[in-house]
Copies of this chain bind each other. A is one copy, B any other.
C-alpha cells in the first residue's frame, strides 16, 4: 500500500537524520538552552527579518496552539476561528480545556474575513452588557488553511488591520507553512507574514522534521515569561536541542522551502490528473493537500493500492478524499497514482 493520506507518514528528511546521528554523542545542555536552539532561533529571526522576535521550539501542533492561546488570553477572553479551523474541530477541546471559548466563524474555503471579525467585535461591544459574553481578543487563522487554501497578502493585511483596530491578537497556525510560502499563487513572504501577525508558528512535523514547531512571537507583550507557559503545559522537551538541530537543518540552505515546493509540485500533478479525468475538486488548493470528489466505488478501487483520507460525503454516491504529498513523496509513486487516476 502506498500512503498519500497525510504528510507525516515517514520519519524525517535525510539531512536531519544525518545531523542527529552525527551529533548523537555530543553533550548538550537541556531544555532548549543550547547553541543549536540559539542558532536556529537566530536564523529564523533573520529569515523573518524580525530581529526582536522571540523564537521557541515546541513538539507538536495542538500543544503549540493551546500553549500560545492560553498565554495570550485573560480568563474571560476568547479566540475567533474559522469553523473549519484545527482548534475548532480536531483538538478534543484542548483550547476550552485551558478555559477559553472559541467563537467559530463560517469559513469560505477554510478562510475568514476581516469583515467577519469586525462584526463579532461590533456585536460584542454593542450589547448593553458586553461582560455577559466572552470578550474577543484573538483571531486564529491557518496558513495554509486546513483545506490547503491560502490567504492573499491583501486578506492578511485586512485581518491585521481589523485586529489592530479592535485590540485583538492575530495568531497564524503555520503547521504547514512551508507549503504556503512556496505555492505558486502565494503572495505572502515570510517577512511579510511576520510583520502582519502577533505570533505564528513554523510547522516542522508536517514539513520534513521528526517533530517540532517553531513559535515566533513578534508582539513584545506576548514574549514575557513564555518559557513558564511551555514548561507548565508539559511542552518543554528535556533534550531540547533535538528541536533546534532540526530547525537549523531545515532553515540552512532553505531546505524547508525546497522540500515544500517539491511536494507542492507533486500535488499539482495529482490535482491535474484528477481534473483531467473529470473529477471535481472540493477546494481549489495550490498546496500539498488536494480534495477531489469521487464516486464511492472508484474510491474503493483506489484504496486497493493507496491509503488516502476520507473527508466527507457530498451525497450518498460520492466521497471527498484527501490526497497529500510531502518531502518523502517519490516521483515513482506520483507517476503510479497519475496513471491509476487516468484509468479509473
| A residues with CB within 8 A of B | 1-3, 6, 8-12, 14, 17, 20-21, 23-31, 59-67, 70-71, 74-76, 78, 89-94, 96-102, 128-129, 131-135, 205-206, 210-211, 225, 227-239, 242, 307, 310, 328
Contact = CB atoms under 8 A, between A and B. Distances in A.
Contacts of A231: 62, 76, 91-92, 94, 131-132
Given A11-B24, A93-B100, A135-B228, 20 more contacts: A6-B30, A8-B238, A10-B24, A11-B23, A59-B59, A60-B237, A62-B234, A62-B236, A63-B234, A66-B234, A74-B225, A75-B98, A75-B232, A76-B92, A90-B132, A92-B232, A94-B231, A94-B232, A94-B234, A211-B238
A229 B6 CA distance: 23
A101 B232 CA distance: 12
Given A76-B92, A135-B228, A20 B11 contact: yes
A210 B242 contact: yes
A94 B59 CA distance: 17
B59 A237 contact: yes
A135 B225 contact: yes
